[in-house]
Amino acid sequence: MEKYDVVIIGAGPVGLAFSTCLARWGYRIRHIDNRPEPTLTGRADGIQPRSLDLLRNMGLKRKIMAHDPAKVYEVAFWDPNPKGIHRTGTWASCPKFIDARYPFTTLLHQGLIERVFIEDIEKNGVQIRRPWTITGFKNDGKDPSYPVEVSLAHVDGTSRETVRAKYLFSGEGARSFVRDQLGIKIHHKDPIAHVWGVMDGVVRTNFPDIKMKCTIHSDAGSVMVIPRENNMVRLYIQLASSTDPDWNPRKTATEEDVQNHAKEILKPYTISWDRVEWYSVYPIGQGIAERYTLDERVFMGGDVCHTHSPKAGQGMNTAFLDAVNLAWKIHHVESGFSPRSMLSTYEPERKLIAENLLDFDAKYAKLFSTRIPSAGEVAGAASNEPEENEFVKTFKASCEFTSGYGVAYNPNIINWGPGHPAQHPLFLSYQKGTNLRTGRILTPATVTRVVDANVVHLEQEIPLNGSYRMYIFAGLPKQTTTAVKDLATYMANPTSFYSIFAHKDSSKDRYHERDNPHSDFLSLCTIFNAPRPQIFIAEMLPAALACYRDHVYADDVWDQRVPNAKAAAHTKMGLDESTGGVVVVRPDGYVGCVVKLVEGRGTCEALDQYFSVLTGKKLGEERAAL
């Protein structure tokens, strides 16, 4: 019987992102999908600014952008007026108060996105078997190393196989065999369901905002306009709601019905279709799975765990983050970097985000369905400019969330907080020595790489390699010489977080290894508050840090957001420009903890304590090496 590290069911966004990570990190994978080929039409979703960061961190962004996707920088709001509709305002899709590298939403056919992942997975030796489906599974523990038995079959029933696996992952979508078998219930947060008509096509129109994302409320109904690649436009029209007196979840409409409806809504503007690429009517309700796993062997993610209306454009993004969150945790458990208890953080972290998403979606969907009073009805209003309605207000308030930067994990063993088992006076927390918040992504910062003088994005410098990322902000070199040296000395202690996971095969030549010369457990960056030409790595850094020579940076690039800072990266992190600090970032890019950089053993001690909790090992206990 074939044995795999992971069996993955489903090759939509969550399954593909999960498979991509684990395939790169060398796991043996059986990946199946019940569709004969990747998504052909429709089913697009927006890629949030934050997801684009993630895709870049995976080295996939350029391939996505090669398809010339549409980019949404602004959303326009249209409301009824006596002549039909008029624009009442616009709002940035990712406003300036959010510090985003890519302040726009990227719209591209889901099939093209899937293909980018598939190509990468195949490069790492994994083939997705299609059309295959799962017919059964059990965590019977008969083989303690591969406790899960999974039965798979070709959809036409001609072939079957039974394999054993360490883990089973379901990314099957809303209708999940695995979830059903486990008897996990879907909790319907918002009982209201809707029937949607969605149409992708090339149009001709004099509606001026056809290339913008728009929400249009008219006396004839509401429509959402979303631009697409290849000169296409997607229209979402709500056809029925469970709050309607004649509610019928099987309500349908022809292509022509929807077009005529859109024509009515867009008046006084005209619209016609050159071609329709895809048209569909589907009912959708909100739902969230009560559990994401029962045994920490069989996991679920993506639409299996949460479904909601398409308007917020969050499905694919949430799926990506589900996948990456689980992938690195499994990787750490399997690498011996973490005890199995690490896996228990997946469900609470990701379920919280799904709940936030459903709350937002319910509010947004409700407001979208609400009839906006037409101009005649508000004629009494004094101002020329109509008051911002609830819909616009909610939209604005939700920008941080919808851009992906509002994702915040609560304190737990990974995200340090006052209740964390590791307690040391040198831990810094939000507005107490740092601007960083644990459970949130590292603030973007532009710095100069010392070895080649390239101006780079610090938060992207370590790829998604499954390692913790340790950023030593080393302040002014003259002030921190001893602190940096001491940190390196204590890190050299054989029981430190740094030493205990050092590569075993010390004879292997790692001269050209850029990100993991010393260990797969962490990658390390050092950032000095000094101009690049004044930084000499061999002279200024102890060997333990100097071996990450491609990850030494000068904090010497001016930043518009902190125009008066001398060291913009230090300042953006809220760290002292002179004395710096140490930031530990999780493998998925979220801040784990921030520690003060001091002379003596304190800094390493705090880090040892933090990593002791994560790794389940007593780190730094013996200091014989000193």
Residues that bind a second copy in the complex, under the rule CB under 8 A: 62-63, 65-66, 70-74, 87, 89-90, 104, 202, 204, 206, 208, 210-212, 227, 231, 274, 448, 451-455, 511-512, 532-533, 536-538, 560
Residue 26: partners with Cβ closer than 8 Å, 6 or more residues away:
none
With CA atoms as reference, report the closest residue to 48 among 446, 400, 347: 400
Q: Which one, 107 or 594, has the nearer CB to a second copy? A: 107
Of 431 and 560, CB closest to a second copy: 560
Residue 278's DSSP bridge partners are: 200
| Nearest residue to 493 via CA among 617, 625, 605, 619 | 625
* Smallest distance from a second copy to CB 498, Å: 23
**58 or 240: CB nearest a second copy:** 58
Intra-chain end-to-end CA distance of the chain, in Å: 51
SS3 393: helix
Task: Report the DSSP pairing between strands 468-473 and 591-595.
Answer: unpaired
Cα distances (angstroms) measured from residue 480 to each of 244, 471, 557, 604, 624: 67, 15, 20, 15, 25
For a second copy, the closer CB: 198 or 203: 203
State the minimum distance, in angstroms, from the CB of residue 453 to a second copy.
4
- For the CB of residue 42, give the shortest distance to a second copy in the complex, in Å: 22
- For residue 451, the minimal CB distance to a second copy (Å) is 4
> Smallest gap, in angstroms, from Cβ of residue 62 to a second copy?
6
Q: Which is nearer to a second copy, 213 or 332 (CB)?
A: 213
**Cβ-based nearer residue to a second copy, 71 or 586:** 71
Which positions ≥6 away from 507 have C-beta within 8 Å?
none
Closer of 347 and 461 to a second copy (Cβ): 461
Strand ranges inside 59-192, DSSP E: 70-72, 74-81, 84-92, 105-108, 128-129, 132-139, 148-154, 160-170, 186-187
What one-character DSSP code corresponds to residue 184? P
Distance in Å, CB of 439 to a second copy, minimum? 31
DSSP 347-389: HHHHHHHHHHHHHHHHHHHHHHHSPPPPGGGGTT-S-SSPPP-
Cβ distance to a second copy smaller for residue 197 or 227? 227
Minimum CB distance to a second copy, residue 107 (Å):
11
User: CB of residue 599 vs a second copy: minimum separation in angstroms?
Assistant: 27
C-beta of 554: minimal distance to a second copy in Å?
11
Task: Tell the smallest beta-carbon distance from residue 212 to a second copy (Å).
Answer: 6
Residue 63 or 188: the one with the smaller Cβ distance to a second copy is 63
Q: Residue 289's beta-bridge partner residues?
A: 186
State the nearest-atom distance from the C-beta of 533 to a second copy, in Å: 5
What is d(CA 590, CA 63) in angstroms, rounded to the nearest whole number? 24
Nearer to a second copy, 74 or 264 (CB): 74
Rounded to the nearest whole angstrom, what is the least distance from the CB of residue 517 to a second copy in the complex?
13
Q: 436: which 2 tokens?
A: 């960083």
Q: Are the C-beta atoms of 587 and 432 separated by less than 8 Å?
A: no
DSSP alpha helix (H) spans, 520-601 = 537-540, 543-546, 568-573
Tell the smallest beta-carbon distance from residue 364 to a second copy (Å).
21
Residue nearer to a second copy on the CB measure, 62 or 393:
62
Beta bridge partners of 9: 32, 170
Output the smallest distance, CB 204 to a second copy, in A. 5
Query: Closer to a second copy at the Cβ: 451 or 625?
Result: 451
C-alpha to C-alpha distances, 514 to 124, 461, 480, 588, nearest whole angstrom: 20, 11, 25, 19
Query: Measured between alpha carbons, how far is 79 from 382 in angstroms, rounded to an integer?
Result: 17
> Is residue 491 within 8 Å of residue 611, measured between CB atoms?
no
Give the CA distances from residue 304 to residues 21, 94, 128, 325, 470, in Å, rounded to whole numbers and listed in that order: 20, 28, 19, 16, 34
Do strands 29-32 and 128-129 pair parallel, antiparallel, or not at all (unpaired)?
parallel
The encoded tokens of residue 456 equal 């780079």
* CB of 40 or CB of 451, closer to a second copy: 451
CA–CA separation, 116 and 134 (whole Å): 25
In the complex with a second copy, the residue whose CB is nearer, 29 or 107, is: 107
Q: What token pair was written down for 336?
A: 């011996």
Peptide bond into 268 cis (omega under 30): yes
